[in-house]
Chain A
Amino acid sequence: MTSTKSANGMGIIIITVMIAMILMMLPLPEQFRLFRPEFVLMVLMYWVMALPRRVSVGFAWVVGVLMDVMMGGALGVTAFSYALVIFMTARFHLQLRQYPVWQQALIILSLVLLIHIIAVIVSPQLASWYMWLPAVTSMILWPINYALLRNIRRSFHVS
């Protein structure tokens, strides 16, 4: 982490995560708001799959705390769910890399569903039948996200 080359790579990762955070808050028309995919989680998952040594559970946790503060939820909930998902992804990153993209997308579906279930367990009064929509859109967008971030990684030589 001390050499200049790796610091450059970290910069790219942080920038992509920040763009994802902005996308999470970008105003959308009312009817599309419920469909907003979990951009931040998708970006984090890509990076942890590609470079499990660079993006750690701790990094995901810090991003989660920031998301909690931004969205105004109970502090620590998103942090916990992000850390959990990234932990699982890091554990199985070798298998995940081997899967075809559509199969990865199915795993994204279940993991995004998982973090929404955690959110509902913590604050049950927010429960709603529309909670599964972001999971579906995340799944649909995963191939695009995957291709885009892979291009970014290759063109900036992040390793």
Chain B
Amino acid sequence: MLLAVIASLTLFVLDSRLNYFSSVRTVLSTVVYPIQTLASMPNDIGHWFTEYFQDRKQLQEKNAALEVTNLLNHIRIQKMQALERENMRLRELLGSSFRLQEHVLVAELLTIDLDPFSQQVLIDKGQRSGVFEGQPVLDATGVMGQVTEVTPFSSRVVLLTNPGHGIPVQVNRNGLRAVATGRGLGGILQLEYLPHNVDVREGDLLVTSGLGGRFPAGYPVGTVISVDFPQGKSFADIAVKPAAKLDSSREVLLVLPTEKQRKMNKPETSSGENMP
């Protein structure tokens, strides 16, 4: 027993303080990966079955719906391109450099449950696909979180709602900067340390500000759902609903950094603190 206590303490200290153990952790993660895939199997098989046995009519309906959204997206993209070019021209006039569009890598979630209190997910791409620690993760509707641990075949993503996670954001309406931190269960974020006279309203869209250099700028993070100024407290109480579908997305996008960001990421930034 004493041996186990000492071993646990050493492991704990080495892991959390010295960051010396990440290689051991990677090896162990690779060892448990088969168990994890096994656990996700029933769900995968179910998914496969429903996909395989969908009837013709359903597929046709789905196809029609997808075509409509595709058309809409095309129209939007056309407008986007024009705007992008205009934006670039204007920025050139101002003398600042324009960020090139980020490249992305598509990954799928492993359908397994982890500790519900720490709000993490596993994805099926790892070191082999070039995933790295601190890489931003998005889904179709917004920012989901960032990668905290990479093994050869899988990696662990901390969601925005993890209580130890903070993301630098900006109010889309007026450019106000803030930090949105997770609150654990319930899937709500919180804007921290904003004074009572702050100009944030219900329904405001928050986007990543790109400060800290970890998350690319301009991706939707969430919308403000309630603003409260409690008497006797120094800061406002602002709740944010994440834009990403944190509990139902199956495919996620990993953002590959541009050269400039890669250089910026070299010195550790404090934008997204990873807590256990």
Interface residues of A (CB under 8 A from B): 18, 21-28, 30, 33-34, 36, 57-58, 60-61, 64-66, 69-77, 79-80, 83-84, 87, 122-123, 125-126, 128, 130-131
B12 touches A74 (CB 8 A): yes
B114 touches A72 (CB 8 A): yes
Residue of B nearest to A30 (CB): B247
Partner of A72, one of B3, B14, B120: B120
Contact mask for chain B residues 232-246; partner A; CB cutoff 8 A; 1 contact, 0 none: 000000000000000
A58 touches B4 (CB 8 A): yes
A74 touches B185 (CB 8 A): no
Residues of chain B in range 5-56 having any CB-CB distance to chain A below 8 Å? 5, 7-12, 14-16, 21, 25, 28-29, 31-32, 35-36, 38-40, 42-43
Q: How many residues of B contact A (CB 8 A)?
A: 45
B5 touches A66 (CB 8 A): no
Complex Cα gap A83–B155 (Å)? 28
CB contacts between A and B, total, < 8 Å: 130
A83 touches B29 (CB 8 A): no
Residue of B nearest to A123 (CB): B276
Supply 24 A–B pairs (Cβ within 8 Å), ascending by A.
Answer: A23-B39, A25-B36, A27-B40, A27-B113, A57-B1, A58-B4, A61-B4, A65-B28, A66-B31, A71-B115, A72-B120, A72-B156, A73-B276, A75-B11, A75-B16, A76-B10, A76-B12, A77-B12, A79-B7, A80-B8, A83-B1, A122-B12, A128-B185, A130-B185
A76 touches B15 (CB 8 A): yes
Complex Cα gap A48–B179 (Å)? 48
Residue of A nearest to B122 (CB): A72
B116 touches A76 (CB 8 A): no
B35 touches A22 (CB 8 A): yes
Complex Cα gap A72–B154 (Å)? 13
A75 touches B32 (CB 8 A): no
Question: How far, in Å, is A15 (CB) from chain B's closest CB?
Answer: 12
Partner of A58, one of B3, B31, B35: B3
* Residue B104 lies at the interface, judged by CB distance under 8 Å to chain A: no
Partner of A66, one of B12, B32, B114, B163: B32
Question: How far, in Å, is A88 (CB) from chain B's closest CB?
Answer: 9
A79 touches B117 (CB 8 A): no
Question: How far, in Å, is A41 (CB) from chain B's closest CB?
Answer: 14
What are the 6 tightest A-B residue pairs by CB atom distance, in nearest-first order?
Answer: A76-B11, A80-B8, A76-B12, A75-B15, A83-B4, A74-B276
Complex Cα gap A151–B11 (Å)? 37
Residue of A nearest to B117 (CB): A126
* Residue B275 lies at the interface, judged by CB distance under 8 Å to chain A: yes
B8 touches A79 (CB 8 A): yes
B8 surroundings in chain A (CB, below 8 A): 61, 64, 76-77, 79-80, 83
Partner of B11, one of A79, A122, A123: A79
B5 touches A80 (CB 8 A): yes
B4 touches A22 (CB 8 A): no
Partner of A33, one of B7, B116, B118, B164: B116
Complex Cα gap A65–B8 (Å)? 9
**Contact A76:B9 (CB < 8 A) given known A69-B28, A70-B32:** yes
